[in-house]
Amino acid sequence: VSFTRMEEWNGKGVSIVDEEGRELGMSKAAGQMGVLQTVLSRSCFLPIAPMVMPVLAMKALKGAVPFLTVGAMGVITEIVLITGCISGMLPVALAILPQK
């Protein structure tokens, strides 16, 4: 994020517009806030679900359907759970800090 958003963080900032879309100017503070929100939502909120939810689901599956948690089937089940968490939590992470 630091390289791709350097212009918003240390450079000229981001464009500020009113409700009708007219540009009011540039704001370095708004650029810094936008970069911080991006880092917070993508680097802090998003990774929580894939790290926690698959572990809990695998423990629940071990008691209910044990063959899904052993050997190659266990690996496949875990990959499916991780993929589902990442794809399901990305919209949630983006919606936590909505942009105007």
Q: What is the pLDDT of residue 77?
A: 94
Q: Which residues of the chain have pLDDT under 70?
A: 1-2, 99-100
Q: Cα-Cα-Cα-Cα dihedral of 64, 52, 38, 6, to 10°?
A: -130
The confidence score (pLDDT) of residue 35 equals 85
- The encoded tokens of residue 94 equal 């983006």
**pLDDT score, position 81:** 94
* Cβ neighbours of 31 (radius 10 Å): 21
CB atoms within 10 A of CB 13: 19
d(CA 81, CA 84): 5
User: pTM to 2 decimals?
Assistant: 0.65
